[in-house]
């Protein structure tokens, strides 16, 4: 029983026989004779009969060709996806590198600003300490003046008291110089 087969465009296909000498000679196939589409199909009834006679499926060369074409399409799509993924990875790597550079630049700017602010604070603190030192020196001169001549005569008359007073004056001078050189403990 020959069934009606339609082509891809929905029109009836013509059943033809292979005339060319070879392994498929004498087999029937369907093809659209007007060549509007590229429809080709081995006769399904003959394929069933051949399958039953041989005890298993018969390889259909057109099916294999179609499978190879599909496999090649899949390989091509995979290659395209792989190229796309590689481009994305490169973009992500570039973005990560840019972010790292931006972060380093931001860190450097922040550290520079912090150093500048620290220097400003240190200068202000140093100025305050110099003013305090000047105030203390003025107080010392005033106290020395108030102590008067009598104390000066006592120190000059007693060599031991004179040596002790000179030693105390040197220690006081050294402490005041150290205060001028070092920053304040709270800065």
Q: How would residue 106 be classed by pLDDT, with cut points 50, 70 and 90?
A: very high
* pTM listed for this prediction: 0.35
Instruction: Take residue 145 and report the two structure tokens written for it.
Output: 């003046």
With a cut of 70, say whether residue 128 has pLDDT above it. Answer: yes
CA 95, 97, 100, 104 dihedral sign is: negative
Q: pLDDT digit string (tens) for 133-185?
A: 888 887 777 777 766 777 777 878 888 988 888 898 888 888 888 887 876 55
CA 87, 93, 95, 98 dihedral sign is: negative
Is the domain of 88 the same as that of 176? yes
Is the domain of 42 the same as that of 88? no
- CB contact at 8 A, 58 and 50: yes
Supply the range of the domain harboring residue 17.
1-58
Q: pLDDT digit string (tens) for 41-82?
A: 888 888 888 888 877 654 666 667 777 888 888 899 999 999
- Evaluate whether residue 175 is within a structural domain: yes
Is the domain of 108 the same as that of 177? yes
In three-state secondary structure terms, 183 is coil
- Evaluate whether residue 10 is within a structural domain: yes
What is the count of structural domains for the chain?
2
Q: How many residues does the chain have?
A: 187
């Amino acid at each position: 029983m020959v069934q009606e087969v339609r082509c891809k465009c929905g029109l009836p296909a013509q059943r033809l026989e292979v005339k060319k000498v070879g392994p498929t000679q004498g087999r029937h196939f369907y093809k659209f004779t007007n060549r509007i589409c590229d429809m080709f199909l081995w006769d399904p009834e003959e394929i069933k009969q051949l399958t039953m006679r041989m005890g298993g499926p018969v390889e259909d060369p057109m099916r294999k060709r179609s499978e190879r074409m599909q496999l090649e399409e899949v390989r091509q799509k995979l290659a395209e996806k792989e190229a796309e993924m590689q481009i994305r990875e490169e973009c992500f790597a570039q973005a990560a590198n840019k972010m790292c550079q931006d972060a380093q630049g931001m860190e450097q700017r922040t550290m520079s600003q912090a150093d500048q602010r620290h220097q400003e604070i240190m200068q202000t603190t140093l100025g305050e300490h110099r003013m305090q030192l000047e105030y203390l020196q003025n107080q010392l001169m005033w106290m020395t003046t108030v102590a008067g001549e009598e104390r000066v005569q006592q120190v000059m008359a007693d060599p031991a008291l004179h040596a002790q007073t000179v030693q105390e004056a040197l220690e006081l001078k050294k402490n005041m110089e150290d205060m001028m050189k070092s920053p304040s403990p709270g800065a």
